[in-house]
Amino acid sequence: MNPTQQREQFRAILAGDRCVHPASVFDPISARIAEDLGFEVAFMAGSIASATVLGAPDLVVLTLTEFAEQIRRICRAANISLVVDADHGYGNALNVKRTVEELETAGLAGLTIEDTVLPQSFGKAKGEELISLEEGVGKMKAALAGRQDPSLVIIARTGALRTEGVDRTARRARAYAEAGVDAVWLAGGVTREGVSGVHAAVQLPLLLGGGDGDLTDDFLTAHGVRVAHQGHLPFAGAVKGVYDTLKALRDGVAPTALRAKVASTELMNQLTRRADYNRWTDEYLH
């Protein structure tokens, strides 16, 4: 599929009648694994991109250029709809517009722009402050203005449930919906009450990052949630696998003893699309 088709596929999920769980990905191989396993959509967070590209924590030290390049690598390699967390858009509303232009060119299906004050202010905890509603609306309008392909999905992400309560979160969601965004992402402090309140306030599909354990798929589906993120276990699992393997080798374990615990040659060939490269080699180099 080309990028427009992947965006339309993601829009079909948002317009559907069930809640799906995206694959948390971080590089071309992880995205191909998600594709091969049949995930409908992939998601990459800014925090995971920061860890992957920089080996840095989630403090918004990753640049837009670095983020866009990682997205481009993933979209080039995998035939799956990719949605990303574009944080605050790397600045004010003008930066948001530029962010959308760059990330759309990279090939993704959708992106979130959030209303958290980022990077964190002096003397404040990360995620503690939100920008004003008016500035948030301006950012959403700028994001929409930066979109060239109308099928690209622009998602307003708000952390208001954690700091402002259900009523004020619903007010923000309505304002962002009126600005023209395609969906609303609830991040932090997510409860049944919060989901119900926002769903009652807007007619847009909802996406969730985290939440209480009693947020069952049946409840989410009935309350307009079409994507519910399950965290970043794949990246944590990959880090643990590399750490354990290197530690074993450093401790003197023979490589042959580790073969059963790592990807087989067959799996590596599948994920690197070895058969395609063999075919191209035969066609173009012989």
Whether residue 271 is found in the same domain as residue 220: no
Neighbours of 230 (CB within 10 A): 14
Domain boundary among 231, 246, 271: 231
Q: What is the pLDDT of residues 160-190, one digit of tens each?
A: 999 999 999 999 999 999 999 999 999 989 9
Whether residue 213 is found in the same domain as residue 280: no
Whether residue 123 is found in the same domain as residue 172: yes
Whether residue 160 is found in the same domain as residue 267: no
Determine the average pLDDT of the residues in 223-243. 97
Determine the average pLDDT of the residues in 245-266. 97
Whether residue 187 is found in the same domain as residue 275: no
Whether residue 203 is found in the same domain as residue 68: yes
Domain boundary among 214, 231, 248: 231
Q: Would you say how long the chain is, in residues? A: 286
Q: How many domains does the chain have?
A: 2
More confident residue, 197 or 128: 197
The domain containing residue 247 runs over which residues? Answer: 238-284
Distance, CA of 134 to CA of 179 (rounded, Å): 11
Determine the average pLDDT of the residues in 148-154. 98
Whether residue 76 is found in the same domain as residue 186: yes
Whether residue 173 is found in the same domain as residue 262: no
Whether residue 214 is found in the same domain as residue 275: no
Determine the average pLDDT of the residues in 45-72. 97
Whether residue 197 is found in the same domain as residue 179: yes
**Residue 249 to residues 54, 246, 253, 260, 264, Cα–Cα distance (Å):** 25, 5, 5, 14, 18
CATH at 114: 3.20.20.60
Whether residue 95 is found in the same domain as residue 65: yes
Whether residue 253 is found in the same domain as residue 175: no
Determine the average pLDDT of the residues in 78-102. 98
Q: How confident is the model at residue 124 (pLDDT cuts 50, 70, 90)?
A: confident
Q: What is the pLDDT of the chain when averaged over all its residues?
A: 96
